[in-house]
Each structure stands twice: as C-alpha cells, then as structure tokens.
Amino acid sequence: MDGPDAGEVVMKGIPVSHGIGIGPVFAETESFPSEAEAHLVAPEDVPAELKRLEVAMRLAREELAKVREEAARKVGDHDARIFLVHLQVLEDRSLQEQIEASIRDEGVSAEAGVAHVIGRYADAFSKLEDPLARERATDVKDVGRRLLRHLSSSVEETTASPPTRYILVTKELFPSDAARLDRDRLAGIVTEVGGKASHAAILARALGIPAVTGVRQTARLLGGKTTIVDGRDGTVVVDPTKETLERYLRGAEAVERVRTALAAEPALPAVTRDGVAIDVLVNVENAGDVMPEDLGDVAGIGLYRTEFVYMDRDSFPSEDEQFEVYRRVVERAGHREVVFRTIDIGGDKRLPYFRVKDEDNPALGWRGYRISDEWPDMFIAQVRALLRASAFGHVKIMLPMITTVEEVRRAVAYVDDVRSDLARRKVAFAEHVPLGVMVEVPAAVFAIESMLKEVDFVSIGSNDLIQYLLAVDRNNARVANLSQPLNPSVLRAVQTVIRAANAAGRPVSLCGEMAGSYYCTLVLLGLGLRRFSMARHYVHGVGRLIRAVTMKEAEQVARRVLAFTTTAEVKAFLNARTREIFREMGIAIDEVAL
C-alpha cells in the first residue's frame, strides 16, 4: 500500500516487539550463496585451500561457542541451545570430509567446496516431505554462511559495514542472527518470514528491539534511505515524508519519555486507591528470564509457556531434563507462584523432531491439549516433572486450548494417576498443586460454569480467544487490523468468564496480550479481573494505572464500555479516559498508542 506521498511507502506486517525504530536500512540480502563461484585452483594450491578450510572451521567453532555463551547470558540457556545444534553440524566429521573431497577432487577453492557441500545438504533437507525436517535446511545454511564469512578475506565486511544504528531488513532472521543482535546498534528489525512465535521474534522481544515480521516484498525497502519500524502496530514506513518522520520521531521520543516517567514511581504492589489488591504477574518463555532481580515485586509467573522447553532440540526432553528446568524456575521464583502451561504445540508452534502432517487450518487443528490428550506419554512425563518440581516451590499447572469438559476430566485423571504413582514410589511433591484451564476457545466460554466445577482456576488466553471468536488468524498480517481486543463481543466473553469464576470463588486471570494493554486495564479491572499476567515490559504501566483508580471508577468505566455497540466507540472512550489518568499522573502519553 503506497502512502500519500509518492516517495513514501507504508507497509503492514505483524508487530512482534514493541517500540519505534527509525534509521537507515541495512539489508542482509544474501541468505546463502548457493552459486558461489566455482573458483578453480591449481593442483599445487589445493593444500593451501584445505588449510584455509581447516582454519575457517576452527574459527567458526570458536565463534559459535562464544556466541552461544553470549546468547545464554543474554537470553538464557534455553534460547541459546540452537547454537549447540550449529556446533554439532560443524563438528560433523563427514561434513568436513565431504568439503575436503570437493576441494581435492574438483580442484576448487575452499569457498566453492563449502558452497557445494552445504548447498547439497540444504537441498536434501529442503526436498524432504516433512515440513519440520525441511526447516533443518535453515540451520545448515546458517552454518554455511558462517564458514563463508570466515573464509572471506573481507570477513567482517558483510556485517561490519552497517551504519552505527540501523534497521535490519532481511527475508528471514536466523537464530544466529538474532543472537548477535545488539540492542545499541539495532534500531529495529523487519522480516518477511516468521510469525510471532518464531525464535527470532522471541529473542527480539527479550532484547527489547522493535520488530515487525510478515512484511511482504522487503526488497521494496532496500532502496529507501530512512525507514520507520513501528513495533506497536506493525507499520513500516520507507522514505517517510517530512511530516510522517516528524510524527514518528515525536512518537519515539514519547515512548522513551513515557518509559522514564512510568519508571519514576513504584508501580507495585498494584493496589487500587480504595485498597483492592490486584495480582500483577509476568509471562515467561524461557528459564533465563526468571531471575529474582527481574521478577522484582511481581506476584509471580502467570504464564510459563513450557513448549519452549521442547524447542531447539533434536528430541523430546526427558522427564528428568524437564524436572531440572522447572525446579530451577520455581527455585528462582522463590515465594512466588509459577503457572506452568503444559505443552502448547501445533498451529504455528512446531517441534523439529515431532512429525505432524500439514493441515489446511492448523489453528483449528491438532494443537494445544488435543495433542497431550491423544499422546498421554508426552503429557504424563511433563506432569511428573512438574509435580516433582512442586516439592521445590509454588507450582500450578494449566492446560492450553481446552474445548470440552471431557478433555478436562481426562487430564485430571492423568494428573491423579501421576500423583498416586509418585506417592507409591515415595517421590516428593507438593500436597496441593492447583490445576487450571485456559479459556481460549469460545466453547469453553459457554461451558465455563461446568469447567469451573472441574478445576481450581482459569486463565483467559485472549490471544487465541480473539482469534477464534472473531475468526481472525493471529498470524495473518492481512487481517491483523481485524484482531480487536476491544470488540464488544470479546469484552462480553471476557465478562462471562470473570463473572462465572468470581461467583464460583475460583481465581481467574487473563494472560493474553490484552492484560498488558493500557487501553484494557480499566475495563478489565471494572469487569472484576484481579489477576493480570503480561510481558515484563508492561508491568509498570499497568501497575501505575491500577494504583491511580478506585474500583468504583473502574466499574463505572466497564458499565459505560459495555453499553457501546462498536469497537470504535469502546476504543475512543477508553483511550480518552486512560490518557486522562496518565495525564493526572503527569505522564503525557498522548502520542503513544497505548
């Protein structure tokens, strides 16, 4: 979609990491030079080429080990695990032998040898029927790129020449790219490929770099001088007009100002002005994020997405491996609770080693608890690990994407069996480990009263609930504007669940993105929500809002909002009211999309 000015191009993608980035574009156009020149060398130069290869392999291995260490420090062991896979590729003797054979037999340069062999490996993977195995091609190519960088005399140049602060534009972000992402140099990231759940998106969020994925034809960005990345709503503007640029510069300044202003006063404990205490919890994707100093005053981890424990590996983690991770998490969380959501794969979250047939509608397919239900071995191993970890901290277990009461009953039976077995074997576990379900499927909203009889708590997964209620694929950039948390139907569904849970005396939380949206805080509070679980980034703003109002005010807001019939009216009202509250706190939030 072209903007109002001939030179300005506005593109839309999926926002995956918050904030506004403005800068010159640095494009990583190359992914892997499959047709590296077949540079022939004289027979007497072959030994020198073999030596160059040997050195490049050693340097690449050393570099990878360093990158892995760095990544583990920055984003946690778990997200850094992919580099181990890359190291294994590099340490594969047969790979090196094939490259050496190619150099010797074909009389080509080390670069050409690498390109041939890596190309062949990647090709073989990419032709496999299994889409998950096909993804292995990416890792192999990534290793190939690294080797070629080390072989190149201008080794550093491809990556060292970008401007000091820039927007990285690339078709696809490889995990190894993500780890060398430097918050100080990267103003933003734009990619064509990759959904919200991609490794790259998760790492970008963990590092706080504004990022947008799903932007088609990134080639259109390449000629641009200045590019704007708006990680709040997925807008990318190339060669903005003076007015647009000024608007976004003001926006970026405002984001920064607001961040500083919000941090100037304590946000927690989140107690309303009339003394109602609200639990503010955080969502976590990897164990590296669970540092006591990062958790600060939050009440706990309201959503631990355990499927990330299963990613970046070659096989399912054993019960013991999982136990180690979960135990470390609860120990670090100390007195705080940790709500472990059991494995939620399928849809767009896949495991490289778990074959799932391609589905026409993966969001409506074999995903979430459905997989655990049909594959109890995997589920039981996880539940055993979680229950064992409960001896070391405050564990809660939560089931994803529940549709029917029967599913809940079967899960409860599995958990009870595991409990009995552990007890029989005299393995320690906490006496009371609450079991809850996520309300993400509209059917669960309508069955909420029955569900509540089966479980100890519920949590509203608004990301999926919105997707299913409004029939909007959450990963499809084309319909992203239709994904509306403030749609009156969504609010009614949320109200139904909160009301039923409060009436049944069961804790209810909301752990989708909505919980961290400042627009939504007042209405959720007014609807009776007492537990909000969100990305760490939003804790301060939400906490400050809660501390600024009384329950009476929040309830009035909710009543007004429920009387509206359109999303636009709801948004306009909440926008005005929320900004007013921030203004009263001396925070000029006007230019920040909340």
- Residues forming contacts to Mg ion in the complex (CB under 5 A) are 440, 461, 464
Active site annotation includes 86: no
What is the distance between the alpha carbons of residues 254 and 594, in angstroms, rounded to a whole number? 11
What is the distance between the alpha carbons of residues 405 and 403, in angstroms, rounded to a whole number? 7
**Position 517 contacts ligand PEP (CB under 6 A):** no
| SS3 at position 303 | strand
What is the distance between the alpha carbons of residues 577 and 553, in angstroms, rounded to a whole number? 11
CA 558 to chain centre: 30
Q: Looking at 78, 394, 511, 520, which residue is catalytic?
A: 511
**Position 461 contacts ligand PEP (CB under 6 A):** yes
Active site annotation includes 511: yes
**Position 403 contacts ligand PEP (CB under 6 A):** no
**Position 286 contacts ligand PEP (CB under 6 A):** no
- From the list ligand PEP, Mg ion, none, pick the one residue 536 interacts with, judged by a Cβ distance below 5 to 8 Å according to partner type: none
- From the list ligand PEP, Mg ion, none, pick the one residue 462 interacts with, judged by a Cβ distance below 5 to 8 Å according to partner type: ligand PEP
Q: Closest CB to Mg ion among 194 and 346? A: 346
Alpha helices (runs of H) in 184-241, residue ranges in sequence order: 199-207, 219-222
**Position 404 contacts ligand PEP (CB under 6 A):** no
Per-position x/- string for 289-318, each x denoting binding to ligand PEP as judged by CB under 6 A, each - no binding: --------------x-x-------------
- From the list Mg ion, ligand PEP, none, pick the one residue 79 interacts with, judged by a Cβ distance below 5 to 8 Å according to partner type: none
Q: How far is the CB of 174 from ligand PEP (least distance, A)?
A: 23
Which DSSP string corresponds to 81-101?
Answer: THHHHHHHHHH-HHHHHHHHH
Q: Closest CB to Mg ion among 9 and 397? A: 397
**Position 440 contacts ligand PEP (CB under 6 A):** yes
| SS3 at position 124 | helix
What is the distance between the alpha carbons of residues 403 and 425, in angstroms, rounded to a whole number? 33
Q: DSSP class of residue 481?
A: G
Q: How far is the CB of 475 from Mg ion (least distance, A)?
A: 12
Residue 302 near residue 308, CB atoms below 8 Å: no
Q: What are phi and psi of 572, to 5 degrees?
A: -60, -45
Among 202, 408, 511, 524, binds ligand PEP (CB under 6 A): 511
Q: Closest CB to ligand PEP among 32 and 457? A: 457
Among 34, 98, 463, 550, binds ligand PEP (CB under 6 A): 463
What is the distance between the alpha carbons of residues 280 and 292, in angstroms, rounded to a whole number? 15
Q: How far is the CB of 560 from ligand PEP (least distance, A)?
A: 25
Q: How far is the CB of 474 from ligand PEP (least distance, A)?
A: 8
Q: How far is the CB of 514 from Mg ion (least distance, A)?
A: 12
Q: How far is the CB of 438 from ligand PEP (least distance, A)?
A: 7
- From the list Mg ion, ligand PEP, none, pick the one residue 511 interacts with, judged by a Cβ distance below 5 to 8 Å according to partner type: ligand PEP
User: In the β-sheet with 14-17, what is the strand arrangement from edge to edge?
Assistant: 9-12, 235-238, 226-230, 20-28, 166-170, 186-191, 211-213, 14-17
| SS3 at position 25 | strand
Q: DSSP class of residue 391?
A: G
Residue 544 near residue 265, CB atoms below 8 Å: yes
Handedness of CA 111, 116, 121, 122 (dihedral sign): positive
Query: Active-site residues: which are they?
Result: 199, 511
Rule CB under 6 A: which residues touch ligand PEP?
303, 305, 344, 440, 461-464, 511-512
